[in-house]
A and B are shown apart, each in its own frame.
Chain A
Amino acid sequence: MAGRGIAVWALALGLFALVWQVGATALPWAFEVPKGWTLPAARWITGFTKWLLNEASFGLFTFAELTRFIAAVIDVPYRVALSVLSTGVLSGRGSAAIVLLPPLPWLGVALVFALFGLWAGGRALGLLVLGCFVFILAFGQWQSAMVTLASILVAVPMGVAGGVTLGILAWRHPWFSRAIRPVLDLMQTIPVFAYLVPILFLFGFGPTAAVVATLIYAMPPMTRVAELALSRVPAELTDLGRMVGCTPRQMLWRVVVPSARDGLMVGVNQVIMLSLNMVIIASMIGAGGLGFDVLAALRKLDFGAGLEAGLAIVALAVVLDRLSQAAARRRGDPRPGGWLARHPYLAGGVATVLVAVLAGLMVPALQRWPVAWELSTGSFWSRVVEWINVNYFDTIEAVKNAILLNVLVPFKRFLLGLPWIGVAGLLGVAGWRLGGARLAALVAALATLIAVTGQWEKAMITVYLCGISVLFAMIIGVPLGILAAERARLWSVVRIVIDTLQTLPSFVYLMPAVMLFRVGDFTAMIAVIAYAVAPAIRYTVLGLAGVDPRLVEAGRAMGATGVQILWRIRLRLALPEILLGLNQTIMFALSMLVITALVGTRDLGQEVYIALTKADPGRGLVAGLAVAFIAIIADRLIQAAARAARARLGLAEAGA
Chain B
Amino acid sequence: MTDKTSFRVRGGIAASVLTLIASGALAQDSADPIRLTLHDWTGQLITTQLMGEVLKQAGYSVEYVQADYLAQFAGLETGDLHVAMEMWETTGREAMDAATATGKVENFGPTGMKAKEEWWYPAYMAEKCPGLPNWEALKEPACAEAFSTAETAPKGRYLGGPVTWGGFDDERVEALDLPFEVIHAGTDAALFAELESAYQRQAPVMLWIYAPHWAPAKYDGAWVEFPEYTAECYNDPAWGGNPDAAYDCGKPFGEIWKVGWAGVKDKWPGAHAAITAFTIDNDEMGAMITEVDLNGKTVDEVTAAWMGANEARWKGWIGQ
Spell out A's residues near B (CB within 8 Å): 86-87, 90, 92-99, 143, 196-197, 200-201, 204-206, 283-288, 292, 295-296, 298-301, 386, 389-390, 393, 397, 401, 404, 507, 510-512, 514-516, 518-520, 596-601, 606, 609-610, 612-615
Contact = CB atoms under 8 A, between A and B. Distances in A.
Contacts of B75: 200, 204-206, 285-286
A205 B78 contact: yes
Contacts of A206: 65, 75, 80
Contact of B197 (A285, A514, A609): A514
Contacts, number: 193
Contacts of A510: 190
Given A206-B80, A615-B95, A93 B67 contact: no
A99 B163 contact: no
B68 A285 contact: yes
A291 to B, nearest CB: 8
B65 A201 contact: no
In this complex, which of A206, A285, A292, A596 has the most chain B Cβ atoms within 10 angstroms of its Cβ?
A: A285
Interface in B79-134: 80-81, 94-95, 98-99
Contacts of B12: 143
- For this complex, into which size category does the number of interface residues on chain B fall? 35 or more
A288 B56 CA distance: 21
B193 A301 contact: yes
B95 A614 contact: yes
A393 B293 CA distance: 26
Interface in B158-209: 159, 162-164, 183-190, 192-194, 196-197, 200-201, 203
Contacts of B21: 96, 98
B241 interface: no
Contact of B186 (A97, A204, A300, A519): A519
A368 to B, nearest CB: 9
A201 B78 contact: yes
A171 to B, nearest CB: 37
A256 B189 CA distance: 50
B314 interface: no
B22 A386 contact: no
Nearest to B214: A300
In this complex, which of A95, A98, A511, A609 has the most chain B Cβ atoms within 10 angstroms of its Cβ?
A: A95
23 contacts: A93-B63, A94-B61, A99-B17, A143-B12, A204-B75, A205-B80, A284-B66, A284-B71, A286-B65, A300-B214, A386-B200, A389-B197, A389-B200, A390-B200, A390-B201, A515-B193, A519-B185, A519-B190, A519-B194, A600-B186, A606-B186, A613-B70, A613-B164
A285 to B, nearest CB: 6
Contacts of A197: 71, 74
Given A94-B34, A600-B190, A615-B99, A299 B40 contact: yes
Given A292-B40, A393-B197, A612 B186 contact: no
B85 to A, nearest CB: 16
Contacts of B188: 299
B230 interface: no
| Top 4 A-B pairs, shortest CB-CB distance | A94-B33, A205-B75, A96-B61, A200-B74
Interface string B146-166: 000111000000010011100
A610 B33 CA distance: 33
A636 to B, nearest CB: 31
Nearest to A286: B65
B312 interface: no
B150 A401 contact: yes
A111 B192 CA distance: 42
Interface string B11-45: 01010111111100000000111110010111001
B300 interface: no
B196 A301 contact: yes
B36 to A, nearest CB: 10
B113 to A, nearest CB: 18
Contact of B17 (A97, A286, A295, A615): A97
A401 B150 CA distance: 8
A92 B197 CA distance: 48
Contact of B78 (A94, A204, A512, A514): A204
